[in-house]
């Protein structure tokens, strides 16, 4: 069985670790659906190791029995057996690969689906404190590492052990003295391998860091925002120089790694040749003295090469196994992360929503740095941040009747966005109660609650898909007639008609192929398809020009008709048209009423109004 050189993994990553029985048991438990395949996989590995002995042993029998006795029949049998062993080994190898791929790809599928499902159900606070790249790396690299634990690592360790044991047993049976001679050379394989392996690990680590830097450069410069920034500042040549510098370092380290690997493999081959030569030399003396047969010597020469590579592979078996289990542990760390936002066991559906929203003495604070959901992924906030967000909302009580348009106003950091985030239960209140249609939102299923709520924000997110696909996100079974209807209502249909591909036009990453007003109107159309009873707007016109604003305002007027609406208001027109104005300051509801009432009362609202008049004049 051919053995391939495997560089050991970085021992620093598992320094001080040990193989925990609980982790190993859990891995085995997780692989429960694949246990028959695992057994079949291990059986094929063992069988291939045993078949690898057949050619050497039969070759010795040919020399010692068939040739001296001129037994053509026996020669044919042995030759046929060698060919048969090779064919059988090939067939077993196919089964080994089949089981390996079945297990590995199956585990990858199960882990990825489980991780994706669990992560998307985690609260929004998790995503605000987690780097996207770090999270996707966990879902990709660690899942593959976990797969390797069940296939490559497990198969390699078992194969090396079986190959080593069976080969040594066969050699001892043939000639124990030559076997001991071969074993004397093993330290010259193992110890240099460990030392040189550490050097190679350093080279590999440096190569990975340089590749990460180069990939980071491409990722940041090749998204729409990065490419735009480079062009606007005219830094294309500078960026090329920066990238070229990092790319040439990747090239140089790659050449160095290739030469180092080749040199070490050459040294191992030479050492193996020395071991084989010693076995042939001493065995030849035994054969001359008549204590050892020539065929047995030939078999020993073939077998001795089978003990060195398994030994070098097993030198770092513990690191390999621990590294693979670390990947499983990192996957389980995410899967075990508790989500505070789960449906209650007796949660009910919000059927026929009317849109009545009530805050009863609601308080809220964001999680502290010691309340991380997945500590290994999230970046904790500083102590200063914790002081600032200690109480984002404090004892807020208000009622929004069905069909009312309510404007939220207040200085930056007053808690307006946080208040609207509580309604669809993106976060849970930390004090008091939030009710929708007289149901505590914690007693409703999240799916039915969010189905009844539509949200339009200042910078709506569009997927890098077609206009039609982005609209279907709200209603997968929407008809073409329905799409046209909501797009007319959102004042965007005329724009779509002018596009060559119409609804099949791809909007680009984050919708960058569309203008700000077009994205807003498309997001309003998407919200109309959802047909929610309640609408939340983070003022959708604050950054638009007058022409786009008027079109979006007209679309919003149709979107809000007959629906309860909570609007974070930045425009005078929105504020003055509101049925009710809520004034937040430092997390507290300080004023409440109509525009006329609040303007007459003075205070925070009157001050904010004067600022808005000055800004829009």
**Helical segments of 6-123, H only:** 21-30, 35-51, 54-61, 72-120
Cβ atoms of residues 420 and 453 within 8 Å: no
Q: What's the confidence (pLDDT) of residue 398?
A: 93
Q: Counting Cβ atoms within 10 Å, is residue 287 exposed (0-12), middle (13-18) or buried (19+)?
A: middle
- Whole-model pTM: value is 0.71
Is the pLDDT at 384 greater than 50? The verdict is no
pLDDT tens column, 462-512? 888 899 999 998 888 989 999 999 898 888 888 899 988 889 988 876 667
Q: In which band, very low, low, confident or very high, does the pLDDT at 317 lie, cut at 50, 70 and 90?
A: low
Q: Find all residues with CB under 8 Å of 307, minimum gap 6, and list them.
A: 164, 167, 168, 171, 182, 183, 186
- pLDDT band, very low/low/confident/very high, at 562 (cuts 50, 70, 90): confident
Res 196: pLDDT: 66
Q: Which residue carries 């309003």 as its tokens?
A: 524
pLDDT of 67 over the 90 cut: no
Please report how the helices 186-222 and 224-233 are oriented relative to each other, as an axis angle in degrees rounded to 10. Answer: 70
- pLDDT attached to residue 385: 46
DSSP 467-487: HHHHHHTT-TT--HHHHHHHH
Q: What is the pLDDT of residue 389?
A: 46
Q: What span, in angstroms and rounded, lies between the C-alpha atoms of 223 and 237? A: 18
Band (348; pLDDT cuts 50, 70, 90): very high
Structure confidence by residue, pLDDT tens digits, 417-445: 899 999 999 888 999 999 999 999 999 99
Q: Is the dihedral of CA 106, 112, 118, 120 positive or negative?
A: negative
Average pLDDT over residues 208-223: 71
Q: What is the DSSP letter of 303?
A: H
Q: What's the burial of 272, exposed, middle or buried (CB within 10 Å: 0-12/13-18/19+)?
A: middle
* Domains, the chain: 11-335 (1.20.1560.10)
Instruction: Count CB atoms within 10 A of the CB of residue 276.
Output: 19
Does the structure show a pLDDT above 80 at 326? no
Which is higher by pLDDT, 533 or 315? 533
* pLDDT confidence band for 4 (50 / 70 / 90): very low
What pLDDT is stored for residue 189 in this prediction? Answer: 63
Residue 545 has pLDDT above 80, yes or no: no
pLDDT (average), residues 184-194? 68
Whole-number pLDDT of residue 2: 40
SS3 466: strand
**Percentage, residues of the chain above pLDDT 70:** 82
Model confidence at 377, in pLDDT bands (50, 70, 90)?
low
- The pLDDT score that the predictor gives to residue 580 is 92
- pLDDT confidence bin for 273, thresholds 50/70/90: confident
Looking at residues 42-61, what average pLDDT do you find? Answer: 86
Q: DSSP per residue over 495-528, as a string?
A: HHHHSTTGGG-B--GGGTTS-HHHHHHHHHHHHH
pLDDT in tens, 485-497: 989 888 888 889 9
Mean pLDDT across 208-227: 71
pLDDT of residue 318: 63
For residues 69 and 65, give the distance between their C-alpha atoms in angstroms, rounded to a whole number: 6
Q: Is 552 helix (H, G, I), strand (E, B) or coil?
A: helix
Average pLDDT, whole number, for the chain? 80
């Amino acid at each position: 069985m051919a053995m391939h050189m495997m560089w050991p993994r970085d021992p620093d990553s598992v320094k001080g670790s040990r193989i925990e029985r609980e982790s190993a048991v859990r891995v085995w438990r997780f692989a429960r659906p694949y246990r028959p395949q695992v057994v079949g996989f291990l059986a094929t590995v063992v069988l291939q190791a045993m078949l690898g002995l057949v050619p050497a042993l039969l070759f010795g029998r040919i020399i010692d029995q068939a040739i001296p006795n001129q037994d053509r029949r026996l020669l044919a049998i042995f030759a046929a057996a060698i060919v048969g062993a090779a064919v059988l080994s090939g067939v077993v190898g196919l089964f080994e690969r089949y089981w390996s791929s079945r297990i590995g790809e199956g585990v990858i599928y199960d882990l990825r689906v489980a991780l994706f499902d669990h992560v998307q159900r985690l609260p929004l606070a998790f995503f605000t404190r987690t780097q996207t790249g770090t999270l996707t790396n966990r879902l990709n690299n660690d899942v593959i590492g976990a797969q390797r634990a069940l296939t490559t690592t497990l198969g390699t360790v078992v194969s090396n052990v079986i190959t080593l044991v069976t080969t040594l047993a066969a050699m001892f049976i043939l000639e124990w003295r030559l076997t001991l001679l071969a074993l004397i050379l093993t330290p010259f394989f193992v110890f240099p391998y460990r030392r040189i392996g550490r050097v190679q690990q350093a080279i590999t680590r440096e190569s990975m860091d340089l590749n990460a830097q180069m990939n980071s450069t491409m990722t940041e410069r090749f998204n729409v925002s990065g490419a735009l920034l480079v062009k606007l500042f005219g830094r294309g040549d500078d960026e090329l120089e920066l990238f070229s510098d990092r790319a040439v370092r990747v090239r140089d380290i790659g050449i160095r790694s290739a030469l180092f690997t080749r040199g070490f493999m050459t040294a191992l081959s030479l050492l193996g040749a020395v071991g084989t030569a010693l076995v042939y030399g001493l065995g030849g003396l035994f054969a001359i003295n008549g204590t050892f047969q020539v065929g047995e010597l030939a078999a020993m020469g073939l077998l001795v090469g089978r003990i060195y590579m398994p030994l070098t592979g097993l030198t770092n078996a513990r690191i390999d196994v621990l590294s693979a289990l670390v990947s499983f542990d990192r996957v389980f760390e995410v899967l075990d992360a508790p989500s505070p936002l789960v449906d209650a066991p007796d949660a009910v559906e919000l059927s026929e929503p009317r849109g009545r929203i009530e805050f009863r003495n609601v308080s809220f604070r964001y999680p502290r740095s010691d309340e991380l959901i997945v500590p290994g992924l999230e970046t904790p906030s500083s102590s200063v941040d914790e002081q600032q967000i200690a109480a984002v909302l404090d004892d807020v009580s208000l009622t929004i009747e069905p069909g009312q348009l309510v404007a939220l106003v207040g200085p930056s950091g007053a808690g307006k966005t946080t208040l609207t985030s509580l309604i669809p239960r993106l976060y849970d209140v930390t004090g008091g109660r939030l009710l929708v249609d007289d149901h505590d939102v914690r007693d409703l299923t999240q799916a039915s609650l969010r189905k009844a709520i539509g949200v339009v924000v200042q910078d709506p997110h569009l997927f890098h898909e077609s206009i039609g696909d982005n609209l279907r996100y709200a209603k997968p079974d929407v008809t073409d007639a329905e799409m046209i209807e909501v797009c007319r209502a959102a004042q965007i249909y005329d724009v779509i008609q002018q596009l060559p591909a119409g609804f099949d036009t791809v909007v680009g990453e984050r919708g960058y192929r569309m203008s700000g007003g077009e994205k807003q109107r498309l997001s309003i159309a998407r919200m109309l398809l959802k047909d929610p009873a309640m609408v939340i707007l983070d003022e959708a016109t604050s950054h638009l020009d007058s022409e786009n604003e008027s079109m979006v305002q007209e679309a919003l007027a149709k979107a809000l008709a007959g629906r309860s609406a909570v609007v974070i208001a930045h425009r005078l027109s929105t504020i003055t048209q509101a049925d009710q104005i809520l004034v937040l300051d430092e997390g507290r509801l300080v004023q409440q009423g109509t525009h006329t009432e609040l303007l007459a009362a003075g205070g925070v609202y009157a001050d904010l109004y004067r600022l808005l008049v000055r800004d829009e004049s």
